[in-house]
Structure 1
Amino acid sequence: MKAARLIRVTFSPALAHCQTFSSASTAPATKSGKKIHFPLVVIGGGSGGCSVAAKFCRRLGKGKVAVVEPAEYHYYQPLWTLVGSGLKNVDQSGRPMEAVLPKNCEWLKTRAAEFIPEKNIVHLQNGDQISYDFLVVAMGLQLNSVQVKGLSEAFKTDPSVCSNYFRETVEKTYPAIKNFKGGNAIFTFPNTPIKCSGAPQKIMYLAEEYWNKAGIRDKTNIMFNSALGVLYPVKRYGDRLLEIVKERHLTLNLKRSLIEIRPSKKEAIFQNLDEQGKTETYKYDFIHVTPPMSAPDALTKCTSLTDPTGFLSVNKTTLQHTKYPNIFGIGDCTNVPTSKTTSAVAAQCGVLEQSLSDAIAGKTPNGKYDGYTSCPLLVGYKQCILAEFDYDGQSLETFPIDQSKRRRSMYHVKKDILPPIYWNVMLKGHWNGPQRFRRLMHFGKDR
């Protein structure tokens, strides 16, 4: 593979200050220790990174956008609830990274190791140094199973310990549900921000329905042990979910954070967050664990980029960094105060496109992200509550019906409609969320 060359080019007036780009062919690697420059660098090849790269590859042209991403495969993780409940297989949730990245981008198949925003430089894990005129940070979340003592071992040795949050463990969930013969079934929610805050309880409702049909429900004690103080943070949908919890006789243990798994004893240790230093031990026969999560280490150690919690500090309306005007963020790694979902990323894509285009043109970014996010809350094999809301927890429902009710139609939206939109529209940079459809269905109004 030839090393990238720096070539001086002439841009339109709107891009006049972006003077160099890489002429290397679209390829996954460069020789170690090279210094490379791109007008736009995107860190991360998840949903946000792919979508933003697709938008700006069309605007800037071949070789002017670099995507830093080490993974060989790209997964549509919202599908993993369906994988864990036996409705899909894991292969249906993934495609080769090469197939989803835009053809005109430069794929650097490594990861970011260190950010030096004062110099517009990112050091890469392979030893290269990449500089940029503009940077988009789209790194997603880091899953920290090591923060729960014994969990990594339990994933390997105990077939009744599963999680829909890892590619390596999601295939354990459905066999664990099928092989469960009764006893204590625990579903956890950690004491950290997580991706898709509804997912830890979705699998609980699906498992409960499966065990009910299998005739073992009366032998089963189902518990949702959550570090949160409420079942779901948006009251409109939380109230409906609480009705289901009561209807199905599920046990809700709030302010309980999983800190240890003892697979040899089939014990799960939880910290009681209401009483400092107090722990509680639960016996389990099945446990679905949602691991603690954080922004990636490479990001959190650059404190000039992050807030005190380690997340990228951005203006919640424009998605521009609060300190460095040529840096923007999208998705789960940012500190925007909304649920971390793929639908939130879709809505942010349109805003970031506007804001970054303004910045490239030398204008003040004028994006207006309202915090839109969505969570299709599966509560059964044919039932779904489609939650859609903004920063203030106010509903932004797309359809002219009460989406807080359980509906089969919303189940098919989740299972059959959203995946093709993701693969065929969003990752190609053509989907900015359902705002236009919502206005159409509500006669020009947002709500």
Structure 2
Amino acid sequence: MKRTVIALSSPRSNLLSVILVLLSMLENYRYRFAIAGGGSGGIAIAAKLAKKYGKGKVVIIEPSSTHYYQPLFTLVGGGLADLPECTNATDSLIPPGCTLLKDEVKEFQPKQNCLVTGDGHQVHYEYLVMATGIALNYDKVEGLTEALEYSDNVCTNYSPEYVRNTYYYMKNMTKGNALFTFPTPPIKCAGAPQKIMYLADAHWRNEGVRDNINIQYYTALGVLFGVKKFADALNQICDERNLTRNYQRNLVKIDHVKKIATFEDLSSENRKREDSPYDFIHVTPPMGPQEAVKDSELADSNGYVDVDKHTLQHVRYPNVFGIGDCTNTPNGKTVAAVAAQLRALYKNLKASVAGTPLKPKYDGYAACPLVTGNSKLILAEFDYDNQPLETFPFDQSEERYSMYLMKKYFLPPLYWKSLLKGTWLGPKEVRKGFQAVKRQVEKVA
């Protein structure tokens, strides 16, 4: 932000200088489209809007200088990739024709078609796209922040600040109890808490110490995975590899000095607490809406942006739309979901601008590439009804090396070079192509 410095020489000039400084802080901006958030969804939709409506019409409000491709964090934590592979400067990713306002949104004023930033700027808009993401709430687990900072066996793959520790602590583990946790949902990438368990299991087997390590998975859910077809396959893997599952157990406290994790039993009436000693623990932190969203008129009762789950249009403010983790759409919160949402969001925004009915519908598509070993992956794809929505013409509940290669080598460049440029709208057309070929083969047969 441009700062104004005025010399002070008298009481009158003092007052004038204060007024001028305040006015400069309250500088107003006006754009046709304001994008709150510069993550994957925000940058992708900004790229499409700028290309369609021209230069100077789109502003992205995002405070972070660094942009991360978070799906690769699992491989970083597992020692199969490094953090720089997930990292780019935010400035370098801003689409041509868009303006980046490096600031955070402090207040949304949808009745005035305005938002206010942390530096006091007012951004007025005709259309607003909410793409603020989801917050990591480490403080919701007593002792977790201190444990991540000061212990040598508490880790999480969900933060670039801590993700490298996971592999380092994993290498130092030779015996004892290894715990992996899943909090009460919603969380982003719901498969990640167990992916790192499979990678840790593979690492310890390769090191010849697996027989000395007791692996326990604690999940607040009542199932291992929400889609039965893939849950069945994952449960079979856990049985074969002696990975113990503890359901409806939510982590509430960590004592990193005594090395004890405390869980609530969500199945009991009084939510009784149980202590579990650990020598290694990977924690998935609780997550929730950003404060500015939760405190706004755009939020539902749980604090998420209140949109129609098919059109992604706000249910009360028709010039407001949402994409990604910040909305209350009941889909898996993944990058794949963002790509599929982008298709519907862009068409619906164009329809809204043109004054025509909103027709395209988002079906809840999400994908979770479940890494189950150093070179194995189950590609789970599903919709709002938790029904499989598979792209490839084979059983995707089976572990495959080809799918692992896709995650590690194909999906990252697809993200950087296509999704963020607004050109990757999910695998819907690919799926249609495979289905057409399959029908032709069956007809010939």
Q: Please name the residue that 1:32 is paired with.
A: 25
Q: 2:331 aligns with which of 338, 345, 352?
A: 338
Q: Please name the residue that 1:12 is paired with.
A: none
Structure 1 length-normalised TM? 0.92
Q: Distance between the aligned counterparts of 1:182 and 1:2, measured in 2?
A: 56
Does 2:239 match 1:220? Answer: no
Q: Please name the residue that 1:293 is paired with.
A: 287
Q: 2:138 aligns with which of 129, 132, 145?
A: 145
Count of residue pairs brought into register by the alignment: 419
When residues 111 and 2 of structure 1 are mapped into structure 2, their CA distance, relative to the original with a 3 A threshold, is: closer
Q: 2:119 aligns with which of 126, 144, 151?
A: 126
RMSD: 1.4
Matches within 5 A, 1:406-421: 406-421=399-414
The one-letter amino acid paired with 2:182 is F
Structure 2 length-normalised TM? 0.92
Q: Please name the residue that 1:422 is paired with.
A: 415
- Measured after TM superposition, the shift of residue 311 of structure 1 is 0.9
When residues 277 and 435 of structure 1 are mapped into structure 2, their CA distance, relative to the original with a 3 A threshold, is: closer
Q: Distance between the aligned counterparts of 1:103 and 1:369, measured in 2?
A: 27
1:442 aligns to what SS in structure 2? helix
1:405 aligns to what SS in structure 2? coil
Deviation larger for 31-40 or 135-144: 31-40
- Measured after TM superposition, the shift of residue 61 of structure 1 is 1.1
Q: Distance between the aligned counterparts of 2:385 and 2:436, measured in 1?
A: 23
- Measured after TM superposition, the shift of residue 277 of structure 1 is 3.5
Q: Please name the residue that 1:393 is paired with.
A: 386
Identical pairs, percent: 48
- Measured after TM superposition, the shift of residue 31 of structure 1 is 5.2
Does 2:73 match 1:80? Answer: yes
Q: Show CA shifts across 1:182-237 (max 9, x none).
A: 10000000013100000000000000010011111111110000000100011010
The one-letter amino acid paired with 1:311 is Y
The one-letter amino acid paired with 1:154 is A
Q: Please name the residue that 1:22 is paired with.
A: none
Larger Rg: 2
- Measured after TM superposition, the shift of residue 278 of structure 1 is 0.5
Segments of 5+ residues of structure 1 without an aligned counterpart are 4-29
Matches within 5 A, 1:24-423: 32-275=25-268, 276-302=270-296, 304-423=297-416
- Measured after TM superposition, the shift of residue 306 of structure 1 is 1.6
1:439–1:445 CA contact under 8 A, matched in 2: no
Give the structure with the higher percent helix.
Answer: 2
Q: Show CA shifts across 1:286-312 (max 9, x none).
A: 00000000010100111x312211111
Q: Distance between the aligned counterparts of 1:333 and 1:153, measured in 2?
A: 27
- Measured after TM superposition, the shift of residue 32 of structure 1 is 2.2
Q: Distance between the aligned counterparts of 1:396 and 1:192, measured in 2?
A: 22
Segments of 5+ residues of structure 2 without an aligned counterpart are 4-22, 440-445
- Measured after TM superposition, the shift of residue 368 of structure 1 is 1.0
2:79 aligns to what SS in structure 1? coil
2:393–2:438 CA contact under 8 A, matched in 1: no
2:436 aligns to what SS in structure 1? coil
The one-letter amino acid paired with 1:346 is A
Q: Distance between the aligned counterparts of 1:444 and 1:157, measured in 2?
A: 56
